[in-house]
Structure 1
């Protein structure tokens, strides 16, 4: 079955006269096909509600080109439970204070688990839209839901060029039978490893703050997990839109798995700095809540995601860690 966009969505590409953003967005959402559906339909121009201001899409600030040698810290977690613990704790402290971001390698999670997860996310988003539509929902109470831009219908800002499937866990628990069959085992396996990684990070970050290793777990600020799997299709006009506009995460902390296409950028002063993909690495970023409870010692910083034109989509899987829901 070919994707048939409703006639009301013709306004996606109309000129100024007669354009109604609300109607265009509504018509797009009713297809339940997401951005991938647009790409599959062969669009060569992106709908106007995906177009961002030029200053937001600009790849970097020309006046800050001398900062091009900056790199987000890469921390080797190997032997962090033994003789390298103080070294790793110190590196986490420096990265969290200066960057609010770091990549971790040597964490012990098999590369095969990470690769399988990315392949599963791709498989879900690239399957026939009729299968994905079963999960399409804007109800935040749904534990598993597929959507394009969670606030698409209410946000007046430009939309992001991405589709998402999200899983909301409580204490790491969610019935696997609710997962899409397409990558049920991959999600289950990934979450098992992430729960252990959460424990390790909780202890190390507590120590990086000069506190007992059980501090963060004792105040129950990492008890709620949300797994968000983004799919950023190749875009016919990548210089006009973003996969994720500049933002800070409101959560305590985020653990990101990105594919080898990259696209993630972190703001450092006036410069957007690439976070290059590393095989088997996970990216950790400090959220607003962490900055709050550390009295600004650890920084929550702006970041964004660029989209590509090479014909290969970008994929990212993010685990947001937050305080226990009341």
Structure 2
């Protein structure tokens, strides 16, 4: 049953947050909310099925305390300076004339930053605009419509929820997500919300073509045949996450998405014009500035392991939305289709001089462990290190 967000979090029940120069915002909230039953509040929020969007619709002007992040997280967010540094951009139209050069550009980006943007990727502009608009339209439906697919059970083809790690994390993030299984078998057609159904399927067709090309180039960058990674079915297991970041009344106290690495092989990310995505580099955290017509690509933990650390996954995060306009991003995670097969460093990439750095595991085991922990960086790859 959908509960009224105004009853769950009425404005008058939320602690005010006075600011001072001697105490952190997070400490102030904890102090002001000494009566606060966090476990109960989290459970009531989840069972309301309204998500963060529902809180904003209810008119809250103070974020519930379980969204407030600890001082060390908040101070780290403020330490990021406006830098001219950007992740590499690769023009895929050059593949026809200078394939070796493109392979080297991607290899260099994948082995250092773990992130890059691609332009001239072949996905039409109207498909990109339509996908962003459709995902936004889903999240801006009445709460009763969104709640129809609100669930946390794994294995469902379609699910809408707020914070995949809501019950494991120390603090929640200010965002909602719709997840749709795209492959190896598309979620039941009637279960995909009609408001975004056609657009998501069209978007997936473009992602499959792009993902196949990227894996071929990445495979060549490892000195392997172009089809080595695609033969492992890494394009087949696809999940889309359509993130919605509503305007946040107190963006300096929370995040849009906590620091983490992606568990799968590769992610193709479409972000809108608002921005907020950051990636950790050797030079510190840098902004992934939105560029028209570009898609963001990032290496996942599984590809780091398969490549025996020739390629690197990178910590990344999203700031809470400080604008008055909702932010939308759409990520498709490319994973193996065979969840019970064993995965580990490819034999061709190991030797006496560079032995396998990780043990073998099934992808099902790998993902089960990921969803049982909070989003907190590299702990997943560290668990499988030999």
User: 2:136 — aligned with what?
Assistant: 122
Any idea what the Cα deviations from partners look like across 1:157-197, whole Å, max 9, x if unmatched? 11111000001233253333321011111111101111111
SS of the aligned residue for 2:84 comes to coil
Any idea what the Cα deviations from partners look like across 1:8-66, whole Å, max 9, x if unmatched? 5569725333211010111111211100011111111101111112332333537xx5x
Any idea what the Cα deviations from partners look like across 1:81-140, whole Å, max 9, x if unmatched? x21211111100111111000000011111110010000011000111111111111111
SS of the aligned residue for 1:170 comes to coil
2:58 is equivalent to residue 37 of structure 1: no
Q: Do the aligned partners of residues 104 and 295 (structure 1) sit closer, same or farther apart at CA in structure 2, a change above 3 Å counting?
A: same
Equivalent residues, number: 320
Query: 1:309, CA displacement in angstroms?
Result: 2.3
Q: Do the aligned partners of residues 274 and 172 (structure 1) sit closer, same or farther apart at CA in structure 2, a change above 3 Å counting?
A: farther
Pairing partner for 1:300 from 305, 309, 313 = 313
User: 1:95 — aligned with what?
Assistant: 109
User: 1:73 — aligned with what?
Assistant: 88
Q: Distance in 2 between matches of 1:229 and 1:203?
A: 26
Question: Of the two, which has the highest radius of gyration?
Answer: 2
Alignment of 1:278-297 (within 5 A): 278-297=291-310
Q: Distance in 1 between matches of 2:186 and 2:94?
A: 29
Q: Distance in 2 between matches of 1:8 and 1:189?
A: 38
Alignment of 1:249-288 (within 5 A): 249-269=262-282, 271-288=284-301
User: 1:149 — aligned with what?
Assistant: 163
| Residue segments in structure 2 that go unaligned for 5+ positions in a row | 16-31, 341-386
Q: Do the aligned partners of residues 100 and 60 (structure 1) sit closer, same or farther apart at CA in structure 2, a change above 3 Å counting?
A: farther
Alignment of 1:172-321 (within 5 A): 173-269=186-282, 271-321=284-334
Alignment of 1:56-67 (within 5 A): 56-57=73-74, 58-61=76-79
Q: Is the 8 A contact 1:12 1:48 kept in 2?
A: no
Q: Distance in 1 between matches of 2:328 and 2:305?
A: 30
SS of the aligned residue for 1:94 comes to helix
Query: 1:69, CA displacement in angstroms?
Result: 2.9
After superposing on structure 2, the runs of 4+ consecutive aligned residues of structure 1 that deviate more than 6 Å are none
Query: 1:244, CA displacement in angstroms?
Result: 0.5
| TM-score between both structures, scaled by the size of structure 1 | 0.93
Structure with larger RCO (C-alpha < 8 A, sep 6+): 1
User: 1:140 — aligned with what?
Assistant: 154
Root mean square deviation, CA, Å: 2.0
